[in-house]
Amino acid sequence: MDIQEARKNVIEQQIRPWGGLNVRANQALSDIPRENFVPEKYQKLVFADIEIPLNESDKMLSPKIEGRILDSLNLQGNEDILEVGTGSGYLTSVLAKLSNSVTSIEIEHDLYVKAKKNIEELKLNNTSLINEAFDCSNFKEGQFDTIIIGSALPNIEDDLKKLLKVGGKLFVVVGSKNQMHATLVSRETELLWNSKSLFETHLEFMKGHEPPIQFSF
């Protein structure tokens, strides 16, 4: 497989048609070798439009979703980003190419270790990886220009929205098991946030934030 040609094809055929990625995002996707972050047994699927398993419960986001995240955020290069769910570290690395800094949180230790190693090998020096469960209280209000949640939430808590600076944007998939929407939240003022539904999709719920099981009789 010609890696460079495959990478070009996935951008042109799978990602661009869904959002017309800007030049900077296209370049970052081209610069970061996705194959470095994919488990060895899935190397033949490195550019397939699927969620590639990383372990028994965690998966990489599909290239299409990664592209749509970048397109919706339209990063300019000066953003301080919070990413919840480092996973393989691939999107973390792309974000690092497109922003001022990335703070990324991963609850699973094995994934954290692998992602840290892969990112360090690329000599990206504007990332900070944290191995713990996500807790809004660990951060200051108005700390981030951009927040990306790499898993689904049943709803968007006010404490999460408050981590945005005024003018900042939050990407999150929100909803129930059977109906989820990718949502973009923008902080307009100190007291005003606007939410926009972008598209329907489905992700696993964030660990520790799963909705309660409802029984019917």
**pLDDT per residue over 67-111, tens digit each?**
889 989 999 999 999 999 999 999 999 999 999 999 999 999 999
Banded pLDDT at 31 (limits 50, 70, 90): confident
- CB-hemisphere CA count at 13 Å for 66? 31
In a domain, 44, yes or no: yes
What pLDDT score does 29 carry?
Answer: 82
For residue 116, count other CB atoms closer than 10 A to its CB. 18
Range of the domain at 141: 3-200
Residue 216 is assigned to a structural domain of this protein: no
Taking each helix axis from N to C end, the angle separating 63-73 and 23-31, rounded to the nearest 10 degrees, works out to 140
72 domain residue, yes or no: yes
Distance CA 68, CA 16 (A): 9
Give the three-class secondary structure for 99: coil
Q: Are 185 and 169 in contact (CB under 8 A)?
A: yes
Q: Which CATH number covers residue 8?
A: 3.40.50.150
pLDDT of residue 30: 81
Averaged over 31-45, what is the pLDDT?
92
| Model pTM score | 0.90
Element (H, E) at 114: helix 109-121
Question: How many domains are contained in the chain?
Answer: 1
Residue partners of 131: CB distance under 8 A and separation at least 6: 105, 106, 107, 109, 112
pLDDT at 11: 61
